[in-house]
Amino acid sequence: MKRTTGQDRSRTRNWRPATRAVRGGTWRSEQGETSEALFLTSGYCYDAAGVAAARFAGEDDGMTYSRLQNPTVQMLEERIALLEGAESCRTQASGMAAMTTALLCQLSAGDHMVSARAAFGSCRWIVDNLLPRFGIETTIVDARDNAAWEAAIQPNTKVFFFETPANPTMDIADLEFICGLAKSHGITSVVDNAFCTPALQRPLEWGADVVAYSATKMMDGQGRVIAGAVAGSAEFINDVLLPFQRNTGPIIAPFNAWVVLKSLETLDLRIRRQSANALKLGEFVQDRVPVILHPWLDSHPQQNLAKKQMDDCGPIFSMVLEGGRAQAHAVLDALELIDISNNIGDSRSLMCHPASTTHHNMGPEGREAAGVYEGMLRINVGLEDPDDLIEDLDRAFASAGL
């Protein structure tokens, strides 16, 4: 294996984002392949016993076992680190494996964590159910309320955990304020950046310590694989995250890593076009529904903050209908082009009713408190012609009485 220029940090650091997305992290075998190779191997052989010993002693750079290192996986990790502007990155089997690893690797019994109210359903399950079982205390705050973050800090607060924009309420958390507050108290901020990806929002530039991803979403972007990633300082990744990850093993399969690696080459193109389509659809939808939650529209109370920290609106927005679950389901059932699906970031337009799917487990009171209303619909706008999408929505709205 030869490292190409994509592996030489002193050169890649100067590359602009589009170049990093296509070239970053590339290794080439002696075959000189143009496209990155897929290494489906669980182990590695050594030329001599002494080489094996040197590798296990950490005196030789080579690989020993694919739970610990794999060339295809390392190419992906290097490319994500470059896009995020992070010193280091490690990938996991899913977004939830990434969140779990990013939190459990640094929290211990007796610690306290502050977490955002509006969050991906499984993230809330970890905060509400898993961490307390291990003696980790959690406080839930409204992520939009800067004073609430400050008020929630205790002497044993170790971590702030939030996503922005939040799923599915499109709440925006103030990255600069919250991450700055964390820093000044020695608290580690962990930001779930699945909605934006580094193509639209780089939390580390606003002072975040750790960024965690579902790479299943915009990074794959074509609805094929489940994947996750955590990026941060070399010290955090090597000293805090890696001992946990190497020994517990929530690693990504090389095939899935390869799919995401190739997808990163088109991430910026896809997310820019999907954002443009999402803005066009939002402008159509706002005249038809009582409430639209879209960070780029004037009706969003945090539009200025969104525009400060995001480069574009991203593919996702939500709306709330007056007719509750029945009317929301009626819209979904009348769609002909847009699919009923709970995935996001896909190049296909997908729509779902969070209260009966992704946020079903929270129960009615939990949903009400988290702002996930019965009449809420969330849409992921894809790469289709936006006029076809508008026609489909127009027909579905009309048939549901809107």
Ligand X SMILES: *Cc1c(COP(=O)(O)O)cnc(C)c1O
Question: Which residues in this chain contact ligand X in the complex, by CB under 6 A?
Answer: 94-96, 99, 120, 123, 163, 167, 192, 194, 214, 216-217, 226, 228, 344
The distance of closest approach from Cβ of residue 212 to ligand X in the complex, given in angstroms and rounded to an integer, is 8
Residue 287 near residue 390 (C-beta atoms within 8 A): no
Closest approach of ligand X to the CB of residue 92, in Å: 9
List of residues 6+ apart from 362 with CB closer than 8 A: 121, 124, 370, 372
CA distances, 385 to each of 218, 277, 284, 295 (Å):
18, 8, 14, 21
Q: Which helix (H) or strand (E) holds 256?
A: helix 254-263
Three-state SS at 191 = strand
| Smaller CB separation from ligand X, 95 or 375 | 95
- Residue 107 or residue 123: which is nearer to ligand X going by CB? 123
| Residues shown for the chain | 402
User: Which CB sits closer to ligand X, 226 or 396?
Assistant: 226
Q: Please, which residues bridge with residue 27 across strands?
A: 3
CB 236 within 8 A of CB 222: no
In the bound complex, what is the minimum distance in angstroms from residue 162's beta carbon to ligand X?
A: 10
Residue 57 phi, psi (nearest 5): -80, -5
Q: Is the torsion defined by CA of 363, 369, 375, 380 positive or negative?
A: negative
Question: Which is nearer to ligand X, 81 or 194 (by Cβ)?
Answer: 194
Q: Of the two residues 120 and 397, which places its CB atom closer to ligand X in the complex?
A: 120
87 Cβ contact partners less than 8 Å away, ≥ 6 residues apart: 81, 232, 233, 234, 237
Nearer residue to ligand X within complex by CB, 218 or 335: 218
Q: Which helix (H) or strand (E) holds 396?
A: helix 386-399
Tally of CB atoms within 10 A around 19: 13
**Shortest distance in whole angstroms from residue 26 CB to ligand X:** 25
Q: Are 351 and 202 in contact (CB under 8 A)?
A: no
Q: Judged by CB, which is closer to ligand X: 339, or 391? A: 339
Q: Are 188 and 233 in contact (CB under 8 A)?
A: no
Beta carbon of residue 167, minimum distance to ligand X (angstroms, whole number)? 5
Q: C-beta of 336: minimal distance to ligand X in Å?
A: 26
Q: Which is nearer to ligand X, 226 or 281 (CB)?
A: 226
Q: Give the integer Cα–Cα distance in Å for 146 and 173.
A: 8
| 3-state secondary structure (DSSP) of residue 140 | strand
Between 12 and 214, whose beta carbon lies closer to ligand X?
214
Report, in Å, the least distance between residue 216 CB and ligand X. Answer: 4
Closest separation between CB of residue 213 and ligand X, Å? Answer: 8
CB of 170 to ligand X, least distance (A): 12
Within its chain, how far is the Cα of 217 from the centroid? Answer: 7
Please say whether the beta carbons of 259 and 225 come within 8 A.
Answer: yes
In the complex, minimum distance from the CB of residue 122 to ligand X, in angstroms, rounded to a whole number: 6
Sort residue 345 into left (φ over 0), alpha (ψ -120 to 50) or beta: left
Residue nearest to ligand X as judged by C-beta position: 95
Please, which residue, 194 or 264, has the CB nearer to ligand X? Answer: 194
CA distance 305 to 279: 17
